[in-house]
């Protein structure tokens, strides 16, 4: 059985509120670069890293939209 990371939505939202927009965009870029490897690992091991990073990205998007 693999370890499944569970996102703490409030903790991540609070973390991202403290970041600049530029930092948030950089974090999204990093997530996009990481997803292919995370998805490959998920297929191989049954983990859910890709989903975790997609959850993070959704929180970042929400924060960016709230700043507009």
Predicted confidence at residue 3, as pLDDT, reads 63
User: What are the mean pLDDT values of the chain's consecutive 10-residue runs (68 residues total)?
Assistant: 80 98 98 98 95 97 97
Rounded to two decimals, the pTM is 0.89
The label of the residue with tokens 């998805």 reads 39
Dist. CA 34–CA 36, nearest whole Å: 6
Of 34, 30, 35, 33, which is closest to residue 19 (Cα–Cα)? 30
Predicted confidence at residue 2, as pLDDT, reads 54
Tokens standing for 44? 């191989």
The label of the residue with tokens 């507009």 reads 68
Dist. CA 28–CA 37, nearest whole Å: 15
């Amino acid at each position: 059985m693999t370890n499944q990371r569970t996102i703490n939505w409030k903790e991540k939202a609070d973390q991202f509120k403290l970041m600049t927009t530029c930092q948030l965009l950089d974090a999204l870029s990093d997530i996009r670069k990481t997803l292919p490897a995370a998805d490959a690992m998920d297929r191989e091991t049954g983990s859910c890293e890709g989903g975790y990073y997609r959850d993070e990205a959704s929180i970042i998007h929400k924060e960016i939209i709230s700043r507009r």
